Amino acid sequence: MKPAAADSRDRGGQAQPMLIARALKKYFPVRGGGGFLTGRSYLHAVDDVSFSVSKGETVGIVGESGCGKSTLARIVLDLIRRDAGQLIFDGEAVGASDGITPRELRKSAQMVFQDSHASLNPRLTIEDTLAFGPMVHGMARREAVARALHLLNLVGLDPRRHAGCYPHELSGGQRQRVNIARALSLEPRLVVMDEPVSALDKSVEAQVLNLLVDLRQRLSLTYLFISHDLNVVRFISDRVMVMYLGRVVEIGAVDAVFGRAAHPYTRGLLASRLAMDPDKRIAAPPLSGDPPSPIDPAPGCRFAGRCPFVEEVCRVVTPELVYRHGDGTDDKRHDGSHGVACHMADAASSHSKAGSV
Amino acid sequence: MAATQTLSRIDLEAAPLVDVENLDVTFHRDGRAIPVVRDLSFSLRAGKVLCIIGESGSGKSVTLRAVMRLLGKSAQLDGRIELAGHDMLALPERKLAKLRGALVAMIFQEPMTAFDPVYTIGHQIGETLRRHMGMDARRARMRAEELLDLVQIPRAKARLDAYPHELSGGLRQRAMIALALSCRPALLLADEPTTALDATVQIQILLLLRSLQRELGMAMIFVTHDLSVAAEISDDVAVMYAGRFVETGPVTDVLRRPRHPYTAGLMASSVGDKPPGVHLDVIQGQPPDPASILPGCSFAPRCAHASETCLAGLPPELWITPDHAARCIRAISS
């Protein structure tokens, strides 16, 4: 990660993280769930998730379906109201009386979605789509249109050819470029991307990844990048957070998490990557079963049901993140180092392999 | 044993199980003819796995559906498709229905489209067995349970009474494979069956298909957009671009020494294990619209090495080894 350059829009100073998320929680009540006397069922989408994103940094979030990564993205932009927890954007609490409002947040933080078609209004031309946001935020139409044309250039589209097009006239890759341009139209500091390249063909995926890397540098952007594709996350991120059933199981620098993965789930996920080499075929599945339902999960470690090292303690006590520092010590203090939520990583737990990973 | 029965139906030394020659698929829409698959020829022996690799719109799924004659009336099929000696393009619908399921079966990306949501898994597999194999209800149920066991669905007996929506994505995919295998087809067609799955589940399904295919001696045509999936499962690959095979050969040869610039470009643009932040070598532009395809090499407009010759006429298929071919004028010199 390159150190962020000073930016006139900074409120909290260069070293102030762009985003701090503390103990975020979102449970969705499930219709028809629960029985008479047993109470309602809840889908634990995001459960006690804390992390921070520095200025100029890209944090990747990986996990399988149902792990809560998309809900987390929406909570960060206040598109889904959190049940509990705190969001601090550049030093200011979101939604607090002395902080910033969600509307102010969305001027500085924008989102790109997976489905490039569904996220564009089919009845607006590309030019109108791109001018819409700035006009809502008070810009004159002429200026907004001029900016729209500039944005098209920025994302590698030809204003003369594409400004007057409707979304259905563009290919998937071109539409995703428009979505990226729209996210940039308010000159945000933070862009949250939910599977932005997953629906694209491989050759187009590479073009869009190159664009994202290029824009990050030119506009000194900060990214929160969500994907199920480990290779893509490794390629674009400085730090990565692995989620499983609503909780963070491992977090740290890309090299640490990919090179010295400690959580059995992270290891299984990494070992499930295919090699593109017929001589390196996988002989046995690294993990068995599917990710379980996030509705009313059992107590203890969420991964216990699929974990090859499961012991009594795992089914009773929910493991907390334990952070490992460069000097070999570890504790539960939240900082930028490599954190693992597994009883085997916690020397103080009663797991027979405690402190071994 | 399933394997012996399958093998006895086809003589391994004789003609290939699948023989496709000069296949053209043309869609007719609003009075316009759109060629989607053009002059495709390939063959596949019993027990072998062919992966067709291509991006969206390349014609890979249409090819698969053509082999099973699943395309609607708007599709015009020319050329020859032979499955175990049956001329698929000449057979009447009534006879085709008998071959589907028994000789050739298909699995899809989304299992919910293969199952009827209002019947249980056991009922639907049982129905196929009763209809094609003439089993009575009791035997069909027993066989359905064996099939769920075969695809490694835990607690198979209880799962027979489950409705499709009650199963997780991975189990549903396994149930669909069980349904496809119920009449012991000699050929399984697979249309991106692992694309919608999570990584840890995708590898489970790929390994299951690989072991079933070997155990049952079944041939498979597997369509995917993902080179790494092809590397994991195939004997041979065919890379498809704008309706044509542009490169074919044993998987190791094609992925190690790609000779068509499109294959090489696909490999270079895969993120794979490339170091973070490097500039990816991408293929510029996008695939052509099938309705407006140029006379020469379809890839030429995106190719860094394209010359006048490429635009003038269709490049010939050049053979690098006896089984590795590429449709590029530079295939041998490069």
Contacts with B174 (C-beta within 8 Å, 6 or more apart), sequence order: B148, B151, B152, B153, B205, B208
B170 at A interface, C-beta within 8 A: yes
pLDDT surpasses 90 at B72: no
Q: How far is A125 from chain B (nearest CA, A)?
A: 21
Interface test with A, best of B266, B282, B284 (most A CBs within 10 A): B282
**Token output for B249:** 């050969």
| Structure confidence by residue, pLDDT tens digits, B240-273 | 999 999 999 999 999 999 999 999 999 998 888 7
Contacts of B283 in chain A (CB under 8 A): 203, 206
CB contact under 8 Å between B200 and A171, yes or no, is no
Which among A171, A228, A275 is the nearest to B228, CB-wise?
Answer: A275
Position A269 confidence tier, pLDDT thresholds 50, 70, 90: very high
pLDDT of res. A13? 82
In 3D, which of A232, A220, A129, A326 has the Cα closest to residue B269? A232
User: Percent of chain A at pLDDT above 70?
Assistant: 93
Q: Which residue has the tokens 């070999």?
A: A328
pLDDT of B85: 92
Whole-angstrom CA distances from A311 to A267, A315, A345 are: 18, 7, 14
pLDDT above 90: percentage of residues in chain B: 74
- Per the rule left: phi > 0, alpha: psi between -120 and 50, beta: everything else, A291 is beta
Do the Cβ atoms of A82 and A75 come closer than 8 Å?
A: yes
Whether this model's ipTM surpasses 0.90 comes out as no
Instruction: Please give the pLDDT value at position B3.
Output: 41
Q: Are strands B324-326 and B318-321 parallel, antiparallel or unpaired?
A: antiparallel
pLDDT tens-place string over residues B182-235: 999 999 999 999 988 888 999 999 999 999 999 999 999 999 999 999 999 999
Q: State how far the Cα of B47 lies from the Cα of B22, in Å rounded to an integer.
A: 23
- Looking at the DSSP bridge assignments, the partners of residue A251 are A241, A339
Chain A contacts in chain B segment 298-327 (CB below 8 A): none
Alpha-helical segments (H) within B164-256: 169-181, 199-216, 227-233, 251-256
Q: Which residues of A touch B251 (CB under 8 A)?
A: 278
Percent of chain B with pLDDT over 70: 96
> Where do we find the tokens 């489905």?
A115
Q: How many residues are recorded in chain B?
A: 334
Q: Which of A209, A231, A274 sits opposite B229 (nearest CB)?
A: A274
What does the pLDDT look like over A19-41, one tens digit per residue?
999 999 999 998 765 556 667 88
Which A positions 138-177 lie with beta carbon below 8 A of chain B? 171-174
B 241-260 residues inside an 8 A Cβ radius of A: 251-252, 255
Helical ranges in chain B per DSSP H: 2-9, 60-67, 93-102, 121-133, 137-150, 156-159, 169-181, 199-216, 227-233, 251-256, 261-269, 308-312
Burial class (CB in 10 A: 0-12, 13-18, 19+), A161: exposed
Question: Which among A266, A274, A265, A277 has a CA at the least distance from the CA of A308?
Answer: A265
Question: Which candidate in B280, B281, B283, B299 is best for mutational testing of the A interface (most A CBs within 10 A)?
Answer: B280
- CA–CA separation, A36 vs B197, rounded Å? 35
CA dihedral of A245, A247, A253, A255, whole degrees rounded to 10: -30
The model carries a pTM of 0.89
Site of tokens 């699943």 = B70
* Shortest alpha-carbon distance between residue A250 and chain B (Å): 17
> Which pLDDT band, with edges at 50, 70 and 90, does A65 fall under?
confident
Query: How confident is the model over A88-111, as pLDDT tens digits?
Result: 999 999 998 899 999 899 889 999
Please judge whether B279 and A268 are an interchain contact, meaning their C-beta atoms are less than 8 angstroms apart: no
Separation CA A165–CA B313 (nearest Å): 33
Distance, C-alpha A282 to centroid of its chain:
28
Site of tokens 């057979």: B91
